[in-house]
Amino acid sequence: MEGVTTMEALRPIDLLNNARNKRVIVELKNGKQFIGQLKAFDIHINIVLESAEERFDGEIKRKIGKVFLRGDTIILISPE
Amino acid sequence: MEGVTTMEALRPIDLLNNARNKRVIVELKNGKQFIGQLKAFDIHINIVLESAEERFDGEIKRKIGKVFLRGDTIILISPE
Amino acid sequence: MEGVTTMEALRPIDLLNNARNKRVIVELKNGKQFIGQLKAFDIHINIVLESAEERFDGEIKRKIGKVFLRGDTIILISPE
Amino acid sequence: MEGVTTMEALRPIDLLNNARNKRVIVELKNGKQFIGQLKAFDIHINIVLESAEERFDGEIKRKIGKVFLRGDTIILISPE
Amino acid sequence: MEGVTTMEALRPIDLLNNARNKRVIVELKNGKQFIGQLKAFDIHINIVLESAEERFDGEIKRKIGKVFLRGDTIILISPE
Amino acid sequence: MEGVTTMEALRPIDLLNNARNKRVIVELKNGKQFIGQLKAFDIHINIVLESAEERFDGEIKRKIGKVFLRGDTIILISPE
Amino acid sequence: MEGVTTMEALRPIDLLNNARNKRVIVELKNGKQFIGQLKAFDIHINIVLESAEERFDGEIKRKIGKVFLRGDTIILISPE
């Protein structure tokens, strides 16, 4: 049983599972950053953030509430 | 039953399901924005907007009515 | 029966089905526009236009008759 | 019988089938044009032209005889 | 038995297996470098680093703790 | 029998089959040209050239002997 | 028997098989070169080099030991 848990802990998707409902920073290929509560993701790394805001060079550009981000534009996801 | 609903609520595609027939903002890789009523989408995130208009830097560029947007050009989709 | 019809109406490909034999505007990733009668399309969004002309910044650049456009170069398709 | 024919006529690949052994213009993502006799194509839109020449801005750059063009570099194919 | 081990040693993914829990340098297509402890990876080369920091031209730009890096943005991974 | 042969002659991959062991010009997306004897290829259009040299704007840049070229960087292949 | 061997000799992956444990030059889409001993590769052309060094315009930039290079960034691989 423990072995199974350990195996599962080794997949990148587990970081996203553990970050669910927590605030994460998402960086896109075009240089934009989105910070928000991670509500959902899938195997393509499409994700949904809630209470999200967009930042550029550390500054808040705008608040956008709920947002769907397409996986192939994402560089990284990091718990805040 | 509730468990199933909860599971489904965790997929990014559910944000799109909940936004159906509502106005959404769509941002493309080339910097363009389209705002319109979300009528349809598929797993490639190809989408159809109705009563759509194109914006660039917040300004309306043109009204285009019904439009099919190819998924691989989309960065984000957000309910207005 | 009606349910099935409704379901089908929710797919992006249905916009293309409804636009068949009508004039559509197609925008490509390189900024070019093609306007023509939509004769065919497939799941890759490869399309064929007839009586097509190419425009750039709203101006007609040339008439090209029948043209096959590869799906992965397409940003949007909109009924004229 | 007629229905089947009609169905087939609706696929983009049929334009290519009808253009086989005829001269076509092929435009690539890098701006180059190739004109030649369409000898072969596959579902990736890889194509082979014979008696081909390369053009740029309408001018003949060189004659290259037989050429294999990889599908993912192609924007459009049009009967001359 | 030895033969099987040898076979497995020939797959690129084995380098990543051997580097698990060790510090690695990851270079992205946008020129950024991330250094951290390799905690997880999958067949898409999506990876998770812990105790990570971002560098650019050899200089530390910021510490980011735990980070998920999407595989298609990665150029190389090298044990430090 | 003849029909089968004819069918096969219509696939782009057949041009490559006929060019095997002959000298071909390969152009890449980055503008480089490689000329060499075509020894191998696969469905991804990954190819191997022997006695190859690199050219840029028609000039020989270097001789590189045997080289594996990844298919997704290739624009065209033409018998010399 | 000989026929089978001949067939196998015609696949691009065989060049890589023959180069295993030998020094190869790898060129990436971003212009960087890596030279090292080829230890492993897979069908995506992900590769592992040992005793590797990075070069740019022919000059050694740094020694990096063992390195995993993601296949989709690779243009060519050539035995030194």
* Nearest beta carbon to residue G77 from set F20, F42, F68: F68
Q: ipTM of the assembly?
A: 0.88
By CB neighbour count within 10 A (0-12 exposed, 13-18 middle, 19+ buried), where does G34 fall?
buried
| CA angle in degrees (0–180, nearest 5) for A72-B39-D12 | 70
Sort out which chain E residues have CB atoms less than 8 A from G20's CB and list them. 10
The answer to whether residue C58 scores a pLDDT higher than 50 is yes
Q: Which residues contact A43 (CB under 8 A, 6 or more apart)?
A: A13
At A19, the amino acid letter reads A
- Express as a percent the part of chain F with pLDDT over 90: 78
In chain G, which stretches have pLDDT less than 70? 1-9
- The DSSP annotation for B8-61 comes to HHTSHHHHHHHHTTSEEEEEETTS-EEEEEEEEE-TT--EEEEEEEEEETTEEE
**pLDDT at residue number G59:** 87
Count CB atoms within 10 A of the CB of residue E14: 16
Cβ-contact A75, E70 below 8 angstroms: yes
Q: What is the pLDDT confidence band of residue D57, given thresholds at 50, 70 and 90?
A: confident
**Interface with chain G: mutation pick from F42, F62, F70, F72, highest number of G CBs within 10 Å:** F70
Query: Inter-chain contact B66–C79, Cβ cutoff 8 Å?
Result: yes
Q: What is the pTM of this model?
A: 0.89
* Nearest beta carbon to residue E68 from set A9, A10, A78: A78
Q: How close does chain C come to B39, measured CA to CA in Å?
A: 6
Look at the domain E2-79 and name its fold.
Answer: SH3 type barrels. (2.30.30)
DSSP secondary structure letter of residue A6: H
The answer to whether residue B56 scores a pLDDT higher than 90 is no
What integer is the mean pLDDT of B6-22? Answer: 81
Helix (H, G, I), strand (E, B) or coil at C37: strand
**pLDDT at residue number F57:** 77
Helix (H, G, I), strand (E, B) or coil at B65: strand
**pLDDT at residue number G3:** 39
Query: Inter-chain contact G68–E77, Cβ cutoff 8 Å?
Result: yes
Q: Which residues contact G8 (CB under 8 A, 6 or more apart)?
A: G14
* Nearest beta carbon to residue F75 from set D39, D41, D73: D73
Q: Which residues contact A60 (CB under 8 A, 6 or more apart)?
A: A53, A54
The pLDDT mean for chain B works out to 88
Alpha-helical runs (H) found in chain F: 2-9, 12-19
Tens-place pLDDT, residues F34-80: 999 999 999 999 999 999 999 987 788 999 999 999 999 999 999 98
The residue ranking higher by pLDDT, E34 or B3, is E34
**pLDDT at residue number G42:** 95
* Residues across chain B: 80
Cβ-contact G30, G5 below 8 angstroms: no
**pLDDT at residue number B5:** 42
Query: Across the 80 residues of chain A, what is the mean pLDDT of every consecutive 10-residue run?
Result: 45 93 96 96 96 89 95 96
Query: Inter-chain contact F65–G78, Cβ cutoff 8 Å?
Result: yes
The pLDDT mean for chain C works out to 88
Cβ-contact E74, E47 below 8 angstroms: yes
| CA angle in degrees (0–180, nearest 5) for C4-C7-C9 | 110
**pLDDT at residue number F2:** 38
How many alpha carbons lie under 13 Å from residue C43 in its C-beta half-sphere? 5
How much of chain E is helix, strand and coil, in % rounded to 5? 25, 50, 25
**pLDDT at residue number F7:** 45
Q: What is the pLDDT confidence band of residue D8, given thresholds at 50, 70 and 90?
A: very low
**pLDDT at residue number E4:** 42
* Nearest beta carbon to residue D76 from set C41, C42, C68: C68
What integer is the mean pLDDT of D22-31? Answer: 96
Q: What are phi and psi of D63, to 5 degrees?
A: -100, 135
Sign of the CA dihedral C48, C49, C52, C55?
Answer: negative
Q: What are phi and psi of D60, to 5 degrees?
A: -70, 125
**pLDDT at residue number F42:** 95
> How far lies E72's CA from each of B6, B62, E2, E46, G1, in Å?
31, 35, 34, 8, 40
Instruction: Name which of C14, C58, C55, C75 is nearest B27 in CA terms.
Output: C75
Delimit the domains of chain C by residue range: 2-79
The answer to whether residue D19 scores a pLDDT higher than 60 is yes
Q: What are phi and psi of C58, to 5 degrees?
A: 85, -15
In chain E, which stretches have pLDDT less than 70? 1-9
Cβ-contact G26, G77 below 8 angstroms: yes
Q: Which chains touch G (3 or more CB pairs under 8 A)?
A: E, F
**pLDDT at residue number A3:** 38
